[in-house]
Chains A and B, each alone.
Chain A
Amino acid sequence: MEYILECRKIFKSFGGVQALRGVDFTLRSGEVHALVGENGAGKSTLIKIISGALLPDRGDIFYMGQPVRIDSPRKAQEIGISTVYQEPLVYSELSVLENIFLGREIRTPWGNIDWKREEEQARSLFASLGLPHHFLREPMGELSVGLQQLVLIAKALVYEAKVIIFDEPTAILTEHETERLFTIIRKLRDQGVGIIYISHRLEEIFRIADRVTVMRDGEVRGEFPITAVDRAKIVELMAGKLLVEEIARRGVKGDHPLLSVQGLTRRPRFFDISFDLFPGEILGFFGLVGSGRTDVAQTIFGLFRPESGKVFFDGREVSFGSPEEAMQAGIAYLPEDRKVQGLFPIQSVAYNISVTVLRELVRRLGIVDVRKERDIAEKHIRELNIKTPNLKTRVYSLSGGNQQKVVLAKWLSVTPKLLILDEPTRGIDVASKSEIHNLIAHLADQGLAVMMISSELPEILKMSDRVVVMHEGRITGVFEGPEKTAENIIRAATGERMAVAGGVGV
């Protein structure tokens, strides 16, 4: 048996979108196999299939040489495949010991939980990992996220894991915690555990991995021993020959910046952020999850106070204490999660569109002017081509794309000067996506300044006049014109600081 885990020709599609197209993946005992790729490359789908959260449409999985069907996370755990997620899945109120053993208790002959033996086993486990174990009886919630993660690794070992999957484990760890995690991963590898390691941070992969597989568009684009590949090669494979759509723009960039951000800092989220945004311009913000893009946008919008730095809007220095102030000044913010922050799902389309201007709709005696509400809603439904049976339709019954258009309409009804879009097309069908793209371009052509955060490289490349790239809270590159390439952007997003002609922020 050469491999502990072997995936052969795995296919998986979601509603017409092919997420995996015949992926092969192998793992040996005692190796760290890194898996890299852009968002949407298919990494998470593959991991979900291996960890039992999804079943493949086609393809075979062999585990210890035998074909297996992993149809639940429970099953995966029982045969020895454990996953350590980015956000640890813990019981914060229960003790560390219970977090390790719940679901697989050691029992006394009477069926009671044998706390003593559990504690002994946990102690020796922690000792073997070189970890302190004085906190075994403390509530899990009192541990740092880094320690919680290590506890879950210990839990995997209780299940006698032969394969451990790490899904971006260092994204929320401090440097010190990352070092400790690496030490432990090496120890596990030396004990013969097979490790699948997913990370966007290429420098980590060169430090920890023995092999690396690069995925793009649901396929494996390359698989190398780590010594036989360099950073440039990996980036090239991740970026590939991206098919970038063109979009017609009139190019009416104004002369003076509408928004000018200088040295904006809010530790630990972002540091020294400076950029200008002109009327009629679409400024793309690219970066990995946790790179601080959303935090910057929300701080500009008045949801958080910056520690230092200045924001100039429309010619004067501003410091918005609340989103309301920012809205009054002419900024609209379309949040990332439209279900939580953007919509009132059980209210009507008309209500959702006009809720931001409710105050202007109020007539004497505090009664809402229903006719005006209807007029505003009808205008936007027409302009944005929202497909809804009528004005009274409840928003949750619309498609994702049309829901997103309603959110957009809601913010456009306040006639903003600056529109901040956070992942404007996430989870939306292709047709609506391109409609929303056209709409954004149209708005910019009319002189609106647009700040567009997106994790989808094709979208960033298609829509942006300029691209700001962030990595771990800092701007690592600003690209426009011929510099605006997939490769440059990925390199900056994975932490390579780019020297850009003209400097950052111009």
Chain B
Amino acid sequence: MTNTGFRKVLRRREFTVLGLIVLLVVLFSLTTERFMSVSNLSNLLLQLAGTAISAIGMTMVIITGGIDVSVGSTLGMASVVAGKLLVGGYSPFLVLLSALGTGLVIGLFNGTLIAFGNVPPIIVTLGMMSILRSLMYQLLGGRWISGIPPAIRVIGLGKWLGVPISMWITVVLIAFFTYFLSSRPLGRAIYAVGNNPEAARVSGIDLRRTTLFVYAVLGALAGFAGLVYVARTGIVQTNTGSGFELEVIAAVVLGGTSILGGRGTIIGSLLGAFLVGIIKNGMVLLNVPALSEGLVVGVLIILSVMIDVIRARGERS
């Protein structure tokens, strides 16, 4: 029993990813001097927080068999709203609510069209991505937002026990949503919907409500990630968050969530985020041109989805 149990752990994607992370950490600490430095590691964690937070929501969306490519623009839009309000001197609490609210509204919009309008998720969110980006142009008028008051920047830059506060928040969110997905009826319904919608319908699970829920949560989390971004960088530009969706989806898919739906864990996505983050960070330190970072991440995404598809084919026969 323990033997097969142990073998099962070894077979899990999380384990493979963890192995890769360890391998890369060893590799980068041997080949670069700065990788293992405190400043680099905490910088890495700072950058990772936003990805990991959004990956929580993306994991749920992909488990239902959907996808959301508008997260990057959602993050951008929320950071525009947050940035403007902060510069305007509004209270941090109100700013927090507005960032969350912006993301939530976008997520509800996506979710409604997907769940009730039966529009394919890739189309809805692709359209949303473009719409939000052009709205950001309108709102910013080609200028940057800067001069963010230092009080709020604690969320992005502050530390507690040597670990960034944003990472602590991430850990709390991950713990909560892991509990939610594993122990709450609605959490389990998310898996059911992705695994076999027909069976879910017959067992009386509300497909539409479940779908709407996951997009709304992802929107809100991406909104929060937007605030964290503003707090960390102190700057909002028109291209803030562009390309971010790829990073988030990469983290989720690498972490073992099946793009075919029905399978995945948030811990896996966190590991996936670490893997992507470490690759990016290490390649910068190695002075590899920025181009090849995208190359490596792209290849990894395709490889891990291929493994999913081959696995699914094997199960069917």
Contacts and interface: CB of A to CB of B under 8 A. Distances in A.
Interface in B190-241: 191-192, 195-196, 198-205
A74 B199 CA distance: 11
B250 interface: no
A173 interface: no
Q: From A89, A90, A93, A104, name the one whose CB has the most chain B CB atoms within 10 angstroms.
A: A93
Contact of A92 (B185, B195, B200): B195
B3 interface: no
A282 to B, nearest CB: 35
Given A93-B262, A102-B189, A113-B183, A77 B204 contact: yes
B262 A91 contact: yes
A53 to B, nearest CB: 9
A105 B188 contact: yes
B195 A113 contact: no
B196 A89 contact: yes
Contact of B203 (A103, A112, A113): A103
A111 interface: yes
Interface string A77-112: 100000000000111111000100011110100011
B12 interface: no
Contacts of A59: none
Contacts, number: 61
Contacts of B204: 74, 77, 103
A73 interface: yes
Interface in B116-151: none
Interface secondary structure of A, over-half rule:
loop
B263 interface: yes
A16 B183 CA distance: 50
Interface secondary structure of B, over-half rule:
helix
Interface residues of B, number: 21
B183 A112 contact: yes
A263 interface: no
A113 B185 contact: yes
Contacts of B184: 111-113
A102 B203 contact: yes
A141 B185 CA distance: 21
Nearest to B260: A93
A73 B201 CA distance: 9
B176 to A, nearest CB: 13
Nearest to A92: B195
Given A112-B184, A113-B184, A91 B202 contact: no
Contacts of A107: 185
A405 B130 CA distance: 45
B202 A93 contact: no
A94 B183 CA distance: 13
A204 to B, nearest CB: 26
A77 B199 CA distance: 13
Contacts of A105: 185, 188
Contacts of A111: 184-185
Nearest to B179: A112
Contact of B198 (A77, A89, A93): A89
B315 interface: yes
A105 B184 CA distance: 9
Contacts of A113: 183-185, 188
A400 to B, nearest CB: 23
8 contacts: A74-B204, A89-B198, A89-B199, A92-B262, A93-B258, A102-B200, A102-B203, A105-B188
Interface of A: 73-74, 77, 89-94, 98, 102-105, 107, 111-113, 115, 141
Interface of B: 183-185, 188-189, 191-192, 195-196, 198-205, 258, 262-263, 315
In order of increasing CB-CB distance, the 8 nearest A-B pairs are A103-B203, A74-B204, A93-B262, A91-B195, A89-B199, A112-B183, A93-B195, A93-B263
Given A89-B199, A105-B188, 6 more contacts: A89-B202, A92-B315, A93-B191, A94-B262, A98-B188, A103-B204
